[in-house]
Amino acid sequence: MLARELHEDVSLLVASNPCFGLDFAAVAEIRSRLMEARNRGAAVLLISADLDEIFALADRIVVMSEGRAVHAVPIAEADLRVIGRHMAGHA
């Protein structure tokens, strides 16, 4: 489905748990296509609870808790423990 949606250039791509339940080959392909879209100038909103996926793909992390953005940080400054505390509502 992602290949079909990315057949043409897009300006915005919203991906919610794009790799959930997929095998390693499919995960690599999807991650590659998301990065290609970003590199072509698309805004990519990745929504995921998979921290490995977020750290592998994101330029910036925004943590939401109880419907509010509670923490935002560029990926270069992101700390897994701090992110986890905010995700759990313990910041």
pLDDT for 7: 74
SS3 28: helix
pLDDT for 65: 86
Q: How far is CA 10 from CA 28, 32, 38, 52, in A?
A: 20, 15, 10, 25
56-65 per-position pLDDT tens digit: 999 999 999 8
17-60 per-position pLDDT tens digit: 999 999 999 999 999 999 999 999 999 999 998 999 999 999 99
Confidence band, pLDDT 50/70/90 cuts, at residue 91: confident
pLDDT for 89: 86
Q: By the 8 A CB rule, do 18 and 45 touch?
A: no
Beta strands per DSSP E along the chain: 12-16, 43-47, 60-65, 68-74
